[in-house]
Structure formats: C-alpha cells, structure tokens
Amino acid sequence: MSYLVTIGLEVHAQVNTNTKMFCACRTSFGDDPNTNTCPVCLGYPGALPVLNKLAIEKTLLTGLALGCSSPEFSRWDRKNYFYPDMPKNYQTTQMDFPLCLGGGVPLFDDCYPTDARKNIKTPDKIVRLNRIHLEEDVAKSTHLATTSLIDLNRAGTPLMEIVTEPDLESAEEAFAYLRSLQMVLHSCNTSDADLEKGNLRCDVNISLRVNESDSLGEKVELKNLNSFSAIRRSIHYEIARQTEELDAGIPQIQSTRRWNDDLGETQMMRTKENAHDYRYFPCPDLLPIATAPLLETVRPLVPEPRLSKISRYENDFGLTTYDAAVLTADSHLAKYFEATADPAIPAKKTANFLINNLLGTLNEQSISIADCPVPPEKLRDLLTLVENGTLAPNQAKEVFSVLFASPEKAPAAIADEMGFKPTSAGELDSLVDQIIAENPDEVAAVKAGNEKLINFLTGKVMRSAPTKPNPKQVTDLLRARLL
C-alpha cells in the first residue's frame, strides 16, 4: 500500500560562543576529555548558573533571520531526566516561553541532493518552524564493549533547538532543509553548524498514514543523526520499515530509534516519553528575559536573505541565476566575491574565475573559502592584468597557481617572473611581419579561407618573442594583416 509520509525535524545547533551557557568554562572541540569543567556544568549541589548573554543574542539573531517572532518575556525551565550525560539529572531549557516562535526555512533547488534536483515536487517550498529555544548541551558518551566513557567538556555548551512543523514529505526535502538552514546559520555567524564536529545534530520524526484526512500516524523518532548522508539513508530505511510493518498489520508505537550506519538500519532504543514524563517546571535559579532590548541590539546584524542576494547579484552585477546561486550558497564566498568585484572588470568574468578556478583549487586542497590564502584584493589585481591585456586567460590561470602557493607575492611580479611581459607594439608588429614573410604557404592558405592556420602562425610568433605576449593580441594582429 502507498502511504503519505510526514516528517518533522528537531535540529540542535551549538551556538558558537567562547564560553558555556551557564558558566565561564571554555567551549572547544578536541581538547583533552573533562578539562573544561567547573562546579556548575558538573552539577555540584549549590552551584548557581549565570546566563551567557551572547548566546541569547545569537539565538534571537537566528530567529530574526528566519522570520521568527519573540514573546515579550522568555522563561527558563527544568527538564528532568536521569542519564549519565546530564550530571545534574535535569537540563536547563525552555518549554512554554521559548526565545523564538514561528518563521520558516526556504528550500532552494541547489540544496537538494544532486541526483534529486530533477524531481523536486514542490519548488520554492518553505518549511514552517514551530520554535527555536535555547538550552544547554549534554556531555558526550562513548560506549565501549563493556563500559561507557563520559566527556563533560561539551556539557553546558549553548544549544539552539530549531523545531519544524511536520511539513516535510521525503528524505530529499529533509536534506534540502538542513542544507538551507546551515547556510542561514553560517551567514548569521551564530553556529559553525559542522556535522562532523557534532555541533549540528538532528532528530527526525517520521509518521505514515493512508489518507490526507487521516490523523497523523504514530511518531517514530530517529535520534542524533550527524551527517547528511546518514539522515537521508535513515529516512529511506525507516519509511520502508514502517511501510512493511503496516502492510503486515503491525501497528506502530511512539518510539525512539537509533541509526546503525554499519548495518544500514534503524534499531529500537526505547518507547518515547511524552512531555509530562520530563516533569517540566520553571527554573528557580534564573529570571525571565525581556527580549525587546536584545532584539534591537541584534536587528542591525540580520544578514541579507539569500533570495534577495540572488536577485541583487542578477540585477546589480548582471550575473546569471546559476552564478548568483553558486556565489550565495556560502556566505564567505559571497563576501569574497563582493570584495573582489571591481567596476573596471566585468562581474561575469570575476564570477567565472571564482567558480571555475578558485573553488576548484580550494576543493583540490581541501581548504574552505573562509581559509582561502589568496586575499580578494590580490585576485582583483590578477583579473585586472587580464582585463588590460597584460595576461591571457590561460596565462592568468598559471599565475594564479603560483599566487595560491605564494600569496604574499604581487600578481604582476609573478607574471613578470614567468615571462608574461607586454611586448611593445612596434616589436610585436615586426615579429608578426617576420612570421608572415617566413610562412608564405600557410599565409596563402589562411587567405584562401583556412582560418585555423592562424593558430599555427600565432604559435610561431609566441615562440619567436623574447617575452610571452598575450596570444590574443598576436592573433588579432595576424587577423588584421591577413583577413
């Protein structure tokens, strides 16, 4: 039988602050286990929390960027549960009055998996958000054969939980949602949103039903997924598993399952608790937050929405929709492009060099655009040499390879070292005349219509020149003489 799939996501994004949510311990990745701890994040009796203002501001900034509203006051609650990764046996979080409400995340075509882009069912879809609340992260558990290890460095790290409405209908839409959300978090600089480092994790809620008019089926939660491929594969598996059981007459129960990547299957962890099982109650140690003053502080920091930026790149720079989409897919790349752009250089040429050469080199070296060794002004200088005729496009690529390895050098100096020097007009004219005189058969063939031989003559001039002139200039001179 065919079933309608309903998916909701709960994304946990660590806020990129230097200290934890309720204490001054350092947040970091890769430090020795249990070295960034104190009585507060260890849950010692009598230790009192102190709010991290920056984490609150960054959460509100994220909410504004996603079109959320905020209540006048936001309150802290205690979520009670007993597990080794929560030393206090409760988590300080938000239940009834979260920092952000509503909003939405647009699904851009280029956020879908490449193999799914031709079959997008709902273009321009916006996934509604239910809420964004701020809480403290738990410790990291490492389960061995006969024991478990706990690293409390992560305990207390500020964590945004971004909860969708049940608007997603496929693994591919879930994939696109996460990619689009990741772009927003990067553009706001509110989370590193790196799945490999664990600062972006996802819980997936899936239910199946027969008809649109039916109530939602029992919800099955897939817990702590931490890669795009795992999220996509686990959803496909779970849809198939539930379908098979429903076809066999086996009802689903509200439960939590984990994804076993080695076996490629989901496995039961526990039947799911409801909210009342956590015994939420207001945190007695923290006062509510008045959101209005904080919102006014962060409102000027809200980044330009991606759709607006794409439109601006098309209108102001004359770029194609494709080029604009590529450049705006990464906020660091967009900033790099705008810093490189110059009215004296056609924006299309700048975009082409960034997309075809710079990004290719970065990918080969496994370097992110944020860590690009070549500053924008150096790349602008290189493109200026192309625009004024000093370098041919292929010569510029050779200069760029050296520049990438030695970014402290000036592009003009590199070109000079490589012999890419402008040849004087008189000297170039003499060389062209000489080659024409030395190759009468080829010249006759060109005049008879075989224009391909101009490239042969261009090569002759290039080899005879004491420097390496721009091949296009040589070809243009030959054409002017012979055609």
Q: How far is CA 267 from CA 243, 256, 274, in A?
A: 16, 9, 20
Q: Has residue 247 got a pLDDT over 70?
A: yes
Cα angle at 144 between 141 and 148, to 5 degrees?
A: 40
Q: Residue 480's pLDDT is what?
A: 78
User: pLDDT, tens digit, for every residue of 144-197?
Assistant: 999 999 999 999 999 999 999 999 999 999 999 999 999 999 999 999 998 888
Q: Has residue 316 got a pLDDT over 80?
A: yes
Task: Give the side-chain half-sphere CA count within 13 A for 177.
Answer: 30
The C-alpha atoms of residue 434 and residue 264 are separated, in whole angstroms, by: 71
Ramachandran region, residue 88 (left: φ > 0; alpha: ψ -120 to 50; beta: rest): alpha
Whole-number average pLDDT of the chain = 92
Residues belonging to the chain:
483
The C-alpha atoms of residue 149 and residue 450 are separated, in whole angstroms, by: 76
The C-alpha atoms of residue 100 and residue 67 are separated, in whole angstroms, by: 9
Tokens of 343: 């009215």
DSSP states of 309-350 as a string? HHHHHHHHH---HHHHHHHHSSHHHHHHHHHH--TTS-HHHH
Q: Residue 441's pLDDT is what?
A: 81
Run of H or E residues at 258: strand 255-260
User: pLDDT, tens digit, for every residue of 419-444?
Assistant: 886 665 566 777 777 888 788 888 78
Residue among 300, 40, 95, 345 at smallest CA distance from 188: 300
Q: Residue 462's pLDDT is what?
A: 77
Q: Report, as an integer, the average pLDDT of 76-80.
A: 96
Q: Residue 424's pLDDT is what?
A: 54
Q: What's the whole-model pTM score?
A: 0.86
Task: Give the side-chain half-sphere CA count within 13 A for 269.
Answer: 15
Q: Report, as an integer, the average pLDDT of 3-32.
A: 95
* Beta carbons within 10 angstroms of residue 483's beta carbon: 10
Residue among 475, 440, 435 at smallest CA distance from 483: 475
Regarding beta strands 104-106 and 126-136, do their DSSP bridges make them parallel or antiparallel, or are they unpaired? antiparallel
**CB distance 336 to 354 below 8 Å:** yes
User: pLDDT, tens digit, for every residue of 91-109?
Assistant: 999 999 999 999 999 999 9
Task: Please report, for the chain, the start and end positions of each structural domain, with discontinuous segments joined by +.
Answer: 4-298, 304-417, 425-482
